[in-house]
Amino acid sequence: MPLLDVLIPCYNYGRLLERSVRSVLDQSMRDVRVMIIDDASPDDTPEVARRLAAQDDRVEWTRHETNRGHIATYNEGIDRATAPYFLLLSADDMLAPGAAARAMSLFRREPKAALAHGAWIDLHEGDPMPEVDAGDAPWTVELGTDFIERTCRLALNLVGTPTAVVRTEAQKRAGHYRASLPHAGDMEMWLRLAMLGDVAQTPAVQAIKGVHARNMSLTVEKGAHRNYEQVEAAFIAFFDGPGRRLPDAAEWLAAARKRLSHTAYWTALAHQWRGELAEGRKLRAFASRLDPRTDRLPPLDGLIGTPVADRATAAVSGLLRRLRS
pTM of the model: 0.89
Q: Which of 195-199, 223-227, 278-282 has the highest mean pLDDT?
A: 195-199
> Which domains, ranges and CATH numbers included, belong to the chain?
4-132+160-176+204-212 (3.90.550.10), 224-324 (no CATH)
pLDDT of residue 302: 46
pLDDT in tens, 253-301: 999 999 999 999 989 988 887 888 899 999 999 999 999 888 766 555 4
Determine the pLDDT at residue 197: 98
What's residue 64's pLDDT? 98
Is residue 320 scored above 70 in pLDDT? no
pLDDT in tens, 90-125: 999 999 999 999 999 999 999 999 999 999 999 998
> Above 50 in pLDDT, residue 34?
yes
Give the type of residue at 137. A
Tell me: pLDDT of 309 over 60. Answer: no
Please say if the pLDDT value at position 221 is more than 60. Answer: no
